[in-house]
Structure 1
Amino acid sequence: MAKVLITGMGAISPLGADLPGSFARALAGDCAIGPASAGIAKWLPDVLLASAAAEPHTMLDAKHASLDRASQFALVAAGEAMNAAGITPRPADARRFGVFVGIGFGGAHTVDGLYERFQSAVQSEGKRNPTVVHPLSVPRMMANAAAAAISMTYGLNGPSNTYSVACASSAIAIGEAFHAIRDGYLDAAIVVGCEAMLTPGSLLAWNALRVMAKPDANNPARSCRPFSQDRSGFVLGEGGAAIVLESAERAHARQQPALAELCGYGRSSDAAHLTAPSSAEQVFAMQQALADAGLQPQHIQYLNAHGTATEAGDVVETESIRSVFGDALQQLAISSTKSMHGHLIGASGILEFALAVMAMNSGSLPPTATLETPDPRCDLDFIPLQARHGCQVDAIMSNSFAFGGSNASLVARRHPA
């Protein structure tokens, strides 16, 4: 089996227009959460959002201006990761280079725009034909639009796969790409997670689930409070993140330094409830990831938790981590960076994994920035309020647990320079 290395990473998130900027703000404990736009606030006045720190279309060629916002995020993140990995379009082994994308709901902006135009045409008393829409509406909103855009931009002829598994989408995309390279089906892959559903239609639907955070009266930016006694739910965010994976043989042949070794992947399904999590299956996913990596719980020093700030989610994840790590909890630091960048749904898993890899390499661990009053049931070391520096981290874990009962856990470790 091939050793799988991470040779490039990138992101455009609520915290920054690139991955280093996003990580710096995460370490500073900055919360990129704010009020909704006027078009959304008129229907949902208390809804908070974590909007991207930059407009993706301004960072792309004009030919990409017509893509859905989610695909634009994907291309920006992929561009940073590919540049970091030193990979140019149309590599010689393009048929051995895959594209793996995770997304929760592709084309939300296209769909909302389509219905807004339809309604406007109907209300104009027949002056416009409401059935005439842009001919590329379907290609813009199809779930694999981002994967198609990336494969065409970089001339990658390997398999182009899209995973839509709610909040676990991009974590599963990473894991499946990892196994494809490790088992010899591919030599490299660009893995991307993207999401752009901060639209009236999407937010009305999310609001109906009653999982959205209530605004903090003193500081709305600090309204997402994972593992806190006064938590009230999560805040939806948008953006994209990407990583380049290569077999060690390929990376070494072109003398490309590695950021880390991706070494473990576990997944499971609750098969019980659409929204209520299962501790037993979360435990299994984490144990499977450790076994896949050939590591024991005591080998992990930092864990980026799913940590959504929901009543059931935080307590169950705490129980699951406790079950897996046992005595090794004494040396395990954990945080939920969703407290700062919000919940990016399909992009969350890969953004949080990338931040965890940055934490491992820098020795600086991002905090659960809003954890002022811990829930007594969530009594682990969740790095409250402030980042922790000067830490020796040799291996990390990142968890993603999704509506629908899909669980994914990833493990990475240091790779010698």
Structure 2
Amino acid sequence: MRNAVEVAVTGLGLVTPGGIGVGPSWRAVTEARPAAAWDPLLAHHRVRISCRVPGFDAAALLGARRAHRLDPFVQFALVAAREAVADAGLDPATWDGGRVGVVLGCADGGPITVEEQHRVLLGEGPARVSPLLLPKQLPNMLAGQAALEFGARGPNLVVATACASGASAVGTARDLLALDRCDIVLTGGSEAMLTPLVMAGFAQMGALSQREEDPQGASRPFDAGRDGFVAGEGAGILVLERAADARARGARVRGRIVGYGASADAHHLTSPHPEGRGLEAAIRAALADAGLSPGEVGHVNAHGTSTPLNDLAEARVIHRVLTGRPLVTSTKGVTGHLLGAAGAVEAVFAVLTAEQRLVPPTANLTSLDPRMDIDVASRPTPAPGGVILSNSSGFGGQNAVLVLAPA
């Protein structure tokens, strides 16, 4: 059944391996400039490449005292949220904070803080562990700190659906607006998991690309030579309002969230269903929510992780379900896989695609896997008509799909 409430995106903020801010990040993906590089923190690891946010100085961006009390996964989110709130033309000093919600996604919380303090515990003893350990690392602090920053006293949630977390958060935020639980929602996702322990875990699973002789070519979604993802970090934040409210205050509407669907594969802890049945269910649910048919999708911002199993399953779903042969892209060729932040960052890119009428290329795509019968953008391409799907999936068989449309 179609949701009758129209939800507008009025503000965007990004912190990504492509750059700090929406402008630098968008230029990086439209110019297909991969961010992957050797990571000194992983010098003795089996896989030594990652996609880090360049030049991120938390003390300069947030103030030294504020930054000291925050794990990087919260630092990224607050910087992106400040950009998004300013972009929306909103002033937290004047809004009704009781009607402002925060719904953010992350997969892990603050493993950087946990690993740092575990080293302190082992080396110096329990009396030296920081009292900030829990306030810095708990996943809910992502939304809690945003509430403190902006005086947002409405519903305050952190969604954890692995690498679908950011998209799940945006969908949940849209539902809160439709239910009149709040008037404004800060939503999206943030992640900072590039730690020695986490990266060793991913490597031991065989999930990461081992193309170390060519770091910038390692993340290659849908390419026949893909061999795993490159892990990244960052945040994407969107300001959502009911469209009628946004227009009444004269806000610039940058795009619309017109549908949302979610599902579980119930298939495997880490591998997607080989035919993508869970993702298919989420796509069909999102289109039904939007009151649209599969033939009305013009573009898909794919989950496209660069792993052999995910990309093939997703391509099969796109071919089987979306009858109009939409143009597909994955921005992970540039940013790497931002894990719990990926769906939010890619939702921002989908809004920009609709607004700018430009589909970013899939970086490093030199030879499409011959088992995939889909059309993948290998260069910047004018956006076709129709709505945009932004797909996300994660460990545990989580799937979340957003349907976006121009303003």
Assess if the C-alpha contact under 8 Å between 1:360 and 1:394 holds in 2. Answer: no
Give ranges in structure 1 of 5+ residues lacking alignment: 122-128
Relative to structure 1, is the Cα distance of residues 171 and 391 closer, same or farther in structure 2, using a 3 angstrom cutoff? Answer: closer
| 2:54 aligned residue | 53
Partner SS, residue 322 of structure 2: helix
Structure 1: how far apart are the matches of 2:76 and 2:57? Answer: 6
Structure 2: how far apart are the matches of 1:20 and 1:309? Answer: 25
Counterpart amino acid of residue 230 in structure 1: G
What CA deviation, in whole Å up to 9, does each residue of 1:166-218 have, x standing for no partner?
Answer: 0000100000010110222221100031000111111111111111001253x
Residue of structure 2 aligned with 1:222, choices 206, 217, 220: 217
Q: Which runs of structure 2 are paired with 1:39-50 in the superposition (5 Å)?
A: 39-44=41-46, 46-50=47-51
Q: Does 1:65 align with 2:52?
A: no
Residue of structure 1 aligned with 2:319, choices 322, 325, 340: 322
Stretch deviating more after TM superposition (267-276 or 75-84) = 267-276
Structure 2: how far apart are the matches of 1:210 and 1:231? Answer: 13
Assess if the C-alpha contact under 8 Å between 2:7 and 2:177 holds in 1. Answer: yes
What CA deviation, in whole Å up to 9, does each residue of 1:17-56 have, x standing for no partner?
Answer: 111211111111100000111x321233x32100002315
Residue of structure 1 aligned with 2:164, choices 153, 162, 168: 168
Instruction: Give the C-alpha shift of residue 102 in structure 1.
Output: 0.2
Q: Does 1:275 align with 2:266?
A: no
Counterpart amino acid of residue 387 in structure 1: P
Structure 2: how far apart are the matches of 1:65 and 1:414? Answer: 36
Instruction: Give the C-alpha shift of residue 10 in structure 1.
Output: 0.7
Assess if the C-alpha contact under 8 Å between 1:12 and 1:54 holds in 2. Answer: no
Assess if the C-alpha contact under 8 Å between 1:7 and 1:244 holds in 2. Answer: yes
Residue of structure 2 aligned with 1:33, choices 32, 36, 60: 36
What CA deviation, in whole Å up to 9, does each residue of 1:136-175 have, x standing for no partner?
Answer: 1101000011111110110011010000110000100000
Instruction: Give the C-alpha shift of residue 90 in structure 1.
Output: 4.0
Give ranges in structure 2 of 5+ residues lacking alignment: none
TM-score when scaled to structure 2? 0.95
| 1:284 aligned residue | 281
Partner SS, residue 165 of structure 1: coil
| 2:360 aligned residue | 366
| 1:375 aligned residue | 369
Assess if the C-alpha contact under 8 Å between 1:89 and 1:153 holds in 2. Answer: no
Counterpart amino acid of residue 287 in structure 1: R
Residue of structure 1 aligned with 2:253, choices 251, 258, 262: 258
Assess if the C-alpha contact under 8 Å between 1:11 and 1:240 holds in 2. Answer: yes
Q: Does 1:185 align with 2:181?
A: yes
Instruction: Give the C-alpha shift of residue 311 in structure 1.
Output: 1.4
| 1:408 aligned residue | 400
Counterpart amino acid of residue 352 in structure 1: E
Structure 1: how far apart are the matches of 2:39 and 2:27? Answer: 25
Structure 2: how far apart are the matches of 1:185 and 1:284? Answer: 27
| 2:196 aligned residue | 200
Partner SS, residue 176 of structure 2: helix
Relative to structure 1, is the Cα distance of residues 297 and 54 closer, same or farther in structure 2, using a 3 angstrom cutoff? Answer: farther
4+ residue runs over 6 A deviation: none
| 1:295 aligned residue | 292
Partner SS, residue 236 of structure 1: coil
TM-score when scaled to structure 1? 0.93
Instruction: Give the C-alpha shift of residue 392 in structure 1.
Output: 4.1
